[in-house]
Amino acid sequence: MKYMMDGGNLEEIKYCNEFFPLDGVTTNPTLLSKEKTDFLQRIRDIRDIIGPDKMIHVQTVQKKAEDIVEEAKFLKKEMGANFFIKIPICEEGLKATKILKSMNIDVTMTAIFTPPQALIAAMAGAKWVAPYVNRLDNIVGEGTRVVAEIVEQFKMYNLDCKVLAASFKSVEQVHKCALAGCDAITVSADIFKAIISHSMTDATIQGFDADWHGQYGDRTFLG
Ligand code: E4P
């Protein structure tokens, strides 16, 4: 399982990069708009924080295939290795994906809501597909089932395309995606925190501290 952070806030990205096993960052136009800042500089800053070896997925804001390709080429030059251009699924997006595949620029096909969308994205050459779990759960409660079916389908056809589950509002959704065998999840800093939080864990840690301090005060193994 790979863990990505979905966002554009530098403090949150620094926090996740420092404390969690972070494999990369994903953004989208909504997340970057919320930051109300120079968007190009922002993705450069994100790259600086996570370094060259982690993935960065940046979404195109173009509509026509040729323009998407130009934007992808520009962003690839900016971001270097481990860059993925996110393209929402649509005819122009699929056309751009086929062209970008021939140019060795990796595509993450996003705004995926059904297994047939994921399959056709993979066949067009996408490296990742990003199904939106919580947005599906909000209407029919089937987000994690859709992720499980996409995983199954890719296995069945032995496709070189991975599943990056996105749009999460709960740890339960994350857990069900993990059980379905999805390759990666992208979540907010809040969900990262929620994943490791448990009141029993807090109580257990407090118990260890109280017992140790009761016997040894402030001493540690270091002296
Ligand atoms: C994924 O590519 C999107 O950035 C994202 O996860 C959508 O999440 P939301 O439904 O919380 O906006």
**Residue 145 maps to which CATH number?**
3.20.20.70
Atom of ligand 1 nearest to the CA of 108: 2
Residue 206 lies in a domain: no
pTM listed for this prediction: 0.96
pLDDT band at 16 (very low <50, low <70, confident <90, very high): very high
Residue whose CA lies nearest to ligand 1 atom number 8: 167
Within 6 A (CB) of ligand 1 lie: 6, 26, 28, 110, 130, 132, 134-135, 166-167, 186
pLDDT band at 91 (very low <50, low <70, confident <90, very high): very high
Residue 43 lies in a domain: yes
Residue 181 phi, psi (nearest 5)? 85, 25
Q: What is the largest CA-CA distance in the chain?
A: 70
Residue 213 lies in a domain: no
Number of domains in the chain: 1
Average pLDDT over residues 132-157: 96
Atom of ligand 1 nearest to the CA of 168: 11
Q: What letters, b where the CB count within 10 A reaches 16 and e where it falls short, cover 112-134? A: bbebebbbbbbebbbbbbbbbbe
Residue 33 lies in a domain: yes
Residue 203 lies in a domain: no
* 106: helix, strand or coil: strand
Residue 103: give the domain boundaries.
2-197
Q: How far apart are CA 198 and CA 204, in angstroms?
A: 10
Residues 6+ apart with CB under 8 A from 15: 189
Cα(100) to centroid(ligand 1), Å:
23
Atom of ligand 1 nearest to the CA of 57: 2
List residues with catalytic annotation: 86
Average pLDDT over residues 141-155: 96
Work out the mean pLDDT of the chain and round it to a whole number.
Answer: 98
Residue 101 lies in a domain: yes
Residue 208 lies in a domain: no
**pLDDT at 207 (0 to 100):** 98
Residue 95 lies in a domain: yes
